[in-house]
Amino acid sequence: MVCTRLARGLVLGLFFCSGCAIAKTSVGSLASAIKAEPETSMMKPLTQKSGPDEIQAETLPEETAGPLPIPSLDEASVDETEPLESESLSDQPPGSVDQPDQEKIDNALELLHASGYFREQGDLDSAIEALDKAYAKLLEVVEQGDPELVQQKEDLRFTISKRVIEAYASRFRTANGLQTAIPISMNRHVQRAIDLFTGKQKDFFLQAYRRSGIYRPAILEALKEAGLPEELSWLPLIESGFKVKAFSRARALGLWQFIASTAYKFGLKRDRWVDERMDPEKSTDAAIAYLKELHRMFGDWTTALAGYNCGEWAVLKRIRAQKINYLDNFWDLYERLPQETAFYVPSFLAVLHIVNDPKAHGLELPPLDEPAETETVMLSRAVSLKDMAKLIGVDRAVLADLNAALRRGVTPPDRPYELTVPSGKGEILLSKLHDIPAWRNPVPSYSIHRVRKGDTLSEIAARYRASMETIKTVNGLRGDLLAAGARLKIPTAAKAGEAPLETSSIQSEGLKGKVLTYEVKRGDSLWKIAQKYGTSANLIISLNHLRNTTLTLGQIIKVPAWSSKSPLTKTATCRVRRGDSPYLIARRYHMDLSELLSLNKLTPRSRIYPGQELLIRAE
């Protein structure tokens, strides 16, 4: 018996975990009890007429008993004993769920799961009988206006009715020898998708069809092994066009278009070195696991495919919003799905129609690309694809396509990696692998600056000897405003064609001349202090053994006077205006251009920007 508290939550989430309401052993025991129970009279089952003759549940043959006696259905699943006095209904708080009715719902839930067990075993008659018993048990529930009980009953009745339809559909397919488990419907929605694939999107369809030859044979084998319909092998055509590196606006990636969270749920690894969403074999295994879960959840493939596209929660929300007791087919749900998902299933069905009979739709399908013949080798260190491709004599693009999951074009340095190479190249690679130097992570061509309160883009650009436009481009900035705490990538001076200000080179100059003391004031920064005293921020850091550029109000620091033949110049600051140039500023403040450039560590080719502060000689 499922405990009452657990059942209350699980009925509402029934679609999401078909096997978590009762343990497998409980399902098996209950299933055995159903099969062992003799036919008894019961109220009219849920199933109705299908054609001229009414479908009747067949009498099950007696099964031989197992090692232990199996109780009857009543003994195994329904507790008929009276509640203890301390547990009587009069002692329950007002509004609590009526206990006998809750037990009936619990029992119906167990029968529902038993029907799933029978269906997995291929015993459709027993599955239908279990569903009939579950529905009969549900009809005994008197709701009495309790909203929680009403909701549980509605959810369970909806699920049972849907499972009955699905079970009869399965028996019909078996009886008529149909191999497909996906009904290939034709209606105006599917026809519209066919018109699109044979019209505006004809080139996309034909190119995707051609690429399918590379991946579809392996997908078919995996589907066959998993017992899923082979039609699902065409799903990547509408997901990604059979491109392993396809990336959507929703940040879904790969043949099967997994988002990161779903990929993680189904065991696909994603780190700085690999993203297995782009691995055809591993992503196919994950997609099969997801499709199986969705099919168990919804009971039919069209609804399961809708869940694959927009997520099971979105589909269930639409199902629950429908004010009906039965979901006879997917098209009842169609109009309530998100627009993209609503067109997703018709698009998939359109693909099946076209590939099954291309001439009927005016298409001549191109020859398929053939899958490459490959082998794998195990590597235990970081090696770049570029170096390996050159070593074994293949194009780098070929090796990159065979190992699309490698994000950086290099094998992981922290673990063994199984590399795919063209057939016959594995032994060559291993024999010459020692000739390839170990890959080293390149030194970034930029440094990181954390924006402090009061920083301006022009000050940061001048400090790092980079242009404002370059900093804006590298960081994707649209304007000059900066947020305190933001991290900016600053291109190195070497990349900009100038020598960077390295601490080691500055220290080699020595700390010649006077060393002053300075008390930090509000709004000060190392850059402003260095400008004021004609020195550099790096020298101040070196002299004061500072670990970072952060200063505190009232802090006393030593300020070196820059080594110079002339005494330290007393300076003031000015702010650059629009249209200014070093020459105009020098002329405005009655200075030589060379003096202005020297005070600000500028060259005749340096650029200045509106808002930038420059040192000038004080009068």
53-110 confidence digits (pLDDT tens): 333 333 333 333 333 333 333 333 333 333 333 333 333 444 444 457 888 888 888 8
CATH number of the domain where residue 477 is located: 3.10.350.10
Note whether 39 and 19 are same-domain residues.
yes
Note whether 195 and 323 are same-domain residues.
yes
Please check whether residue 598 lies inside any domain of the structure. no
Number of CB atoms found within 10 A of residue 533's CB: 22
**Domain end call among 148, 175, 202:** 175
Mean pLDDT of the chain: 74
Note whether 170 and 201 are same-domain residues.
no
Cβ atoms of residues 338 and 321 within 8 Å: no
Note whether 105 and 247 are same-domain residues.
no
Q: In whole angstroms, give the CA distance from residue 21 to residue 419.
A: 42
Angle at which helices 339-356 and 301-310 cross, to 10°: 130
Q: For 270, which DSSP code?
A: B
Please check whether residue 200 lies inside any domain of the structure. yes
Write the pLDDT tens digit of every residue in 108-154: 888 888 888 887 787 878 888 888 888 888 888 876 667 777 878 88
Please check whether residue 158 lies inside any domain of the structure. yes
Q: In whole angstroms, give the CA distance from residue 298 to residue 341.
A: 16
Say what the pLDDT of residue 401 is. Answer: 94
* Nearest partner of 161 among 139, 187, 146, judged by Cα: 139
- 613: helix, strand or coil: strand
Note whether 401 and 353 are same-domain residues.
no
CATH number of the domain where residue 288 is located: 1.10.530.10
As to burial, measured by CB atoms within 10 angstroms (0-12 exposed, 13-18 middle, 19+ buried), residue 47 is buried
Note whether 383 and 244 are same-domain residues.
no
- Buried b or exposed e, range 425-445, using 16+ CB within 10 angstroms: bbeebeeebeebeebeeeeee
Please check whether residue 293 lies inside any domain of the structure. yes
Residue 113 carries which side chain, given as an amino acid letter? H
Cβ atoms of residues 291 and 232 within 8 Å: yes
Q: For 76, which DSSP code?
A: H
Please check whether residue 517 lies inside any domain of the structure. no
Note whether 462 and 328 are same-domain residues.
no
Cβ atoms of residues 147 and 315 within 8 Å: no
**Domain end call among 145, 175, 205:** 175
SS (H, E, C) 303-361: HHHHHHHHCHHHHHHHHHHCCCCCCCCHHHHHCCCCHHHHHHHHHHHHHHHHHHCCHHH
Domain count, the chain: 4
201's tokens: 């999107």
- 217: helix, strand or coil: helix
Note whether 75 and 27 are same-domain residues.
yes
Q: Position of tokens 């691995």?
A: 279
Just list the catalytic residues: 239
Q: In whole angstroms, give the CA distance from residue 253 to residue 401.
A: 15
Q: In whole angstroms, give the CA distance from residue 527 to residue 573.
A: 13
480's tokens: 């000059």
Note whether 419 and 355 are same-domain residues.
no
As to burial, measured by CB atoms within 10 angstroms (0-12 exposed, 13-18 middle, 19+ buried), residue 211 is buried
If you compute the radius of gyration of the chain from its CA atoms, what whole number of angstroms results? 37
Please check whether residue 386 lies inside any domain of the structure. yes
**Domain end call among 312, 340, 361:** 361
Please check whether residue 526 lies inside any domain of the structure. no
Q: Which domain holds residue 70?
A: 4-49+58-80+98-175
Note whether 23 and 166 are same-domain residues.
yes
Please check whether residue 472 lies inside any domain of the structure. yes
Angle at which helices 124-139 and 24-36 cross, to 10°: 90
Cβ atoms of residues 211 and 369 within 8 Å: yes
Say what the pLDDT of residue 561 is. Answer: 58
Q: Which parts of the chain sit beneath pLDDT 70?
A: 1-99, 143-145, 165-181, 315-342, 441-445, 492-514, 534, 536, 547, 561-570, 604-605, 619
Note whether 338 and 269 are same-domain residues.
yes
How far is CA 427 from each of CA 361, 423, 424, 479, rounded to the nearest angstrom? Answer: 48, 9, 7, 55
Say what the pLDDT of residue 468 is. Answer: 79
Q: In whole angstroms, give the CA distance from residue 324 to residue 59.
A: 32
Write the pLDDT tens digit of every residue in 476-486: 887 888 888 88
Note whether 330 and 278 are same-domain residues.
yes
